[in-house]
Structure 1
Amino acid sequence: MKTYSFYTLLLMMLMGCADPARISGFDSEKWQQDKKGCQGQRNTMVNDFEAIRRDLYGRPEADVKDILGKPDAEQLMRRGQRVFIYYFEPGSQCNERNKLSEANRAEVRFNALSKVSEITYLRPIPSSK
């Protein structure tokens, strides 16, 4: 049987009991239930996503997964960078699992420290001003 120090056990308990990251005003559950944007719910949340986009900058990967859920697709880039892809609308990604779709999507780029460094859209979101 392994023996753990008091501090190791305390750290394990604290990490396991932490509440998931959330951003006020964004319905993470509704977003996450619409896998790959195939049900059309995310399409109604485009303005909500745009409102929190700046709040995602600098956040660690784990926070992004808490807020937006598991990415619909993922790309590995040079220099340890990664990109999470979240679709806004239904498209070929709903039927073809391993291919990127031309459906509009957000691309969340992480730097080598696994912090959000950039968020772009395949097609820019029209300004609601």
Structure 2
Amino acid sequence: MKLKYCVFLGIIVLLYSCDKPVDLPDFDESQWQSDHHGCSGVRLQMLDNLEQAKEHIKGLSEDEVVRVLGKPDKNELYKRNQKFYIYEIDNAEECGQKTEGADHVYLNIRFNATGLAKEVLVYRD
């Protein structure tokens, strides 16, 4: 019984220690993460790089996305265990800058029931 438990525990430790590093090409993760809600304008300047990295984000797990992009500004749960992570790229209202008619720009990542990113969209509201 102890042997089975030790083997099982060893396999679990081995699986968790094999995390692959996630690196988005031409994308500075630390700058992105430091600009909460897009208030500093850094995320908006990185929009072209983000558009190029969208295909690399697809297929990442929730944990990998959080490691690369940081904690989402908002998240939503839908039916069939789908999740959406929303990162604000440009949101003047959230930052206390009232601007009439200004667009809000968001990154929306949809995760399926298995926790993998299936859709990555940048949209304006």
Q: TM-score, normalised by structure 2?
A: 0.77
SS of residue in 1 equivalent to 2:120: strand
**C-alpha distance in 2 between matches for 1:70 and 1:104:** 17
| Aligned-pair CA distance for 1:5 | 2.7
Residues 6-54 of structure 1: per-residue CA shift (max 9 Å, x gap):
7636754773685752223210000001011111110100001001001
What corresponds to 2:94 in structure 1? 93
**Consecutive unaligned residues in structure 2, runs of 5 or more:** 97-102
For residues 26 and 110 of structure 1, do their structure 2 counterparts lie closer, same or farther at Cα, with a shift above 3 Å needed? same
| Aligned-pair CA distance for 1:90 | 3.2
AA of the residue aligned to 2:23: R
For residues 55 and 18 of structure 1, do their structure 2 counterparts lie closer, same or farther at Cα, with a shift above 3 Å needed? closer
SS of residue in 1 equivalent to 2:87: strand
For residues 47 and 119 of structure 1, do their structure 2 counterparts lie closer, same or farther at Cα, with a shift above 3 Å needed? same
Q: Does 2:47 correspond to 1:46?
A: yes
What corresponds to 2:59 in structure 1? 58
**Consecutive unaligned residues in structure 1, runs of 5 or more:** 96-101, 125-129
What corresponds to 1:76 in structure 2? 77
* Mapping for residues 1-129 of structure 1, pairs under 5 Å: 5=6, 8=9, 11-12=12-13, 15=16, 18=19, 20-94=21-95, 103-123=104-124
Residues 109-128 of structure 1: per-residue CA shift (max 9 Å, x gap):
0011111111122329xxxx
Moved runs in structure 1, 4+ residues, more than 3 A? Answer: 9-20
**C-alpha distance in 1 between matches for 2:17 and 2:34:** 23
* Number of aligned positions between the proteins: 115
Which is further off, 16-25 or 60-69? 16-25
Q: TM-score, normalised by structure 1?
A: 0.75
For residues 7 and 24 of structure 1, do their structure 2 counterparts lie closer, same or farther at Cα, with a shift above 3 Å needed? farther
